[in-house]
Structure 1
Amino acid sequence: MRFTLIMLIGASLAAAQAPPPAAAPAAPPRPPRVQPPARITEFRTEPGTVQSGQSATLVWATENPNAVTISPDLGKVTPRGSRQVSPKATTTYTLTVTGPNNSVLTKEVTVTVPGTTPVNSASAAPTEMKKEVPRLANGKPDLSGVYSFGGGGAPGGRGAAPGGGRAAAPAGPELKPGMEKYRVVRGPNDAGALSDCMPIAGPAAYSVPYQFQILQTPSYAVIMHEYPGVFRIVPTNGATHPVDPDPTWMGDAVGHWEDDTLVIDIVGFNTKTELSGFKHSEGLHIVERFSRPDYDTLQYEATLEDPNVFVRPWTVSRTFPLRPDLNKIDEFVCENNKDYSKLFVK
């Protein structure tokens, strides 16, 4: 027993004097993350040759860029996109991509305008190029874009002068004698024509604080309103109205060009919409005129007449700023407005 106790004490002393076990080797440091290089995968023009006043489309695509620019200056440029240009002379455009570690890549394309002196991206005037009104292949102004509410304009505008031409028009609609029933009278709990989210006809569609968008081809103009989510497809290829159009909220629209102005003739309305605080008959007739005096502006003018209700035609006009930062309007659904009456339940 004594021998065993001595052995145990000796083993305990040996264990206490033994060196601690070696620590596990530290994990090797992670190699730094390598960022993939920037690339230009596409930069082209469609078409490569245009006549003076016509437009071409620059198309580009990049990968892993830190910054992307195109000169002559086209404003804000995304890693992938397209932009219409209307150079007055043969112009070389340069796509510049800055990548990781400040690497720089460039690629050039040239839009040829026959019979002009070529200019390159360094010598072209960027502001003049950017403000050029784009045009379709048929030479007509391209009105395509997203436009914002907030433009000004006189409510009177211009109308038909007795001796021909266009002159000042009345400031608004005037009811015929005996047509007082067409005046809209609202009660204290009536939120107005926009509270039911129904379609809006004519100039009123451009008076709400929401964007609208125009998409244009040589044969059609499509006008889409963010509020209340309605659209019109307007043929501009010589189509005419049907003999007896079915009455609709937005009417039957056909368009034609008068020089650089798109003229849209609209008939076939139902009687559910309002015009400046008045109802109307199915005889309502609206002529809209769209023009683009410069790159950033859309000019709108509409002449309205309903000989069944109003004394004479009247004209309204507005201007709308282009929103180059937007490429489409948003979806808008005012579904909660159906419960509006509950706000007034006592």
Structure 2
Amino acid sequence: MYFPVLAISAWALLAQNSGTITGTVTDVYGGVLGKAAIQATNVATKAVFKAESSATGAYTLAQLPAGTYDLSATVTGMARFEQKNIAVGVAHTVQLNIKVNDFSLNTVGEDRQFFEGLTTRHKTPAGPTPRMANGKPDLSGVWLGTFLQDSGKPELTPSAQAIVNERAANHLKDVPSSRCQPNGITLFGVIFTYRVVQTPDYLVMIAEHDQPPRQIFMDGRSHPKNLDPTWLGHSVGHWEGDTLVVDTVGFNGRAWIDLEGHPFTERTHITERYRRPDLGHLEVEFTIDDPSSYVKPWTIKRISDLAPKGEEVAEYVCTENNKDVPHLVGK
């Protein structure tokens, strides 16, 4: 009968020894931004605390142990917000209103609503995992743009941190896709529809975005000894139970890991794990290993919804209507 009292006492003690960061998230014109992903990282302990802004733009990070925090805010279609060295004291509330810059043109098809529509989850068909004749899961199908489940927590080397800082200061205007160059494999299928074609020996991915097809060799071959570095690298795959494990090396270092500007290099080594837990979903984990950029390997998790029947991968020719470049703003 004393347990509730002990629980209340423990909660009260935690509250007394912690602080809060709270505020609202808006664009530079004062428009409220809901569903912003807020993350505060304790500088000393590296502990991460997360929150999401409400429909009114309000957010609260409560019960933060006293200390110094680096805070970031991510909104689809907007530039990433960062503020470092926020001091949080015991029983202290820090009021931090976040203003997020918009790096799109805000014309039809290039506005926040466009990105929000593309990143809204869809109703998917129910059913068991389809399988190939050999009993392995069949990953084939037309898939809607991937959703980020976990962006990972990379620890950057000084050189990689300098690259990320420079790209952020330039409002990410140098992202390769802004100049009709390919995205990296970690951004393959992000936002736009893509198709997976699977055979026992090969898996091919075709993206609607202006990107070369991706080949994953599953016929038992190894990586060539003398690889010609490319945007997508060289990929070989094998099955571990119902998980397709893909090993990729041979990058040219020109792509970006994500839209936060984390870099590839020619030393980047990526391991992917694909799972189809049911008919309507495709899960993938990317583990990035690159000692020249990251202190230790880190993992990004994404999931895709199966597209409705009749959905196809449309033709997309970036160079026919690429008018963004003269309007991109940076230093």
TM-score bracket for this pair, using the shorter chain length: 0.5 to 0.7
Gap change, CA 1:275 and 1:319, over 3 Å in 2: same
Gap change, CA 1:291 and 1:338, over 3 Å in 2: same
After TM superposition, the structure 1 = structure 2 runs for residues 78-89 of structure 1, keeping only pairs within 5 Å, are none
The question of 1:299 aligning with 2:283 is answered: yes
Gap change, CA 1:296 and 1:313, over 3 Å in 2: same
Aligned to 2:114: none
The question of 1:154 aligning with 2:171 is answered: no
**Count of matched residue positions in the alignment of Structure 1 and Structure 2:** 201
- Counterpart contact for 2:254–2:265, Cα < 8 Å: no
- Counterpart contact for 2:193–2:313, Cα < 8 Å: yes
Deviation at 1:187, TM superposition (A): 2.8
Gap change, CA 1:344 and 1:307, over 3 Å in 2: closer
- For residue 268 of structure 1, the aligned residue among 250, 257, 260 is 250
Gap change, CA 1:229 and 1:142, over 3 Å in 2: same
Partners of 1:266 and 1:227 in 2: how far apart?
Answer: 21
Where does the alignment leave 5 or more consecutive residues of structure 2 unmatched?
1-124
Deviation at 1:308, TM superposition (A): 1.6
Match of 1:335, SS state, is helix
Partners of 2:172 and 2:219 in 1: how far apart?
Answer: 47
Match of 1:195, SS state, is helix
Deviation at 1:339, TM superposition (A): 4.2
Match of 2:221, SS state, is coil
From the CA coordinates, give the structure whose radius of gyration is larger: 1
- Counterpart contact for 1:182–1:280, Cα < 8 Å: no
Aligned to 2:163: 182
Identical columns (%): 37
Aligned to 1:139: 135
Aligned to 2:180: 197
Partners of 1:179 and 1:289 in 2: how far apart?
Answer: 25
CA-atom RMSD in angstroms: 2.4
Q: TM-score, normalised by structure 1?
A: 0.53
- Counterpart contact for 1:182–1:309, Cα < 8 Å: no
Gap change, CA 1:280 and 1:318, over 3 Å in 2: closer
Gap change, CA 1:132 and 1:190, over 3 Å in 2: closer
- Counterpart contact for 1:229–1:331, Cα < 8 Å: no
Aligned to 2:324: 340
Partners of 1:308 and 1:189 in 2: how far apart?
Answer: 22
Aligned to 1:24: none
Where does the alignment leave 5 or more consecutive residues of structure 1 unmatched?
1-128, 157-170
- Counterpart contact for 2:251–2:264, Cα < 8 Å: no
Cα deviation digits, residues 151-176 of structure 1 (max 9, x gap): 351223xxxxxxxxxxxxxx2x2222
Deviation at 1:257, TM superposition (A): 0.4
- Counterpart contact for 1:196–1:337, Cα < 8 Å: no
Aligned to 1:288: 272
Aligned to 1:315: 299
Partners of 1:275 and 1:286 in 2: how far apart?
Answer: 10
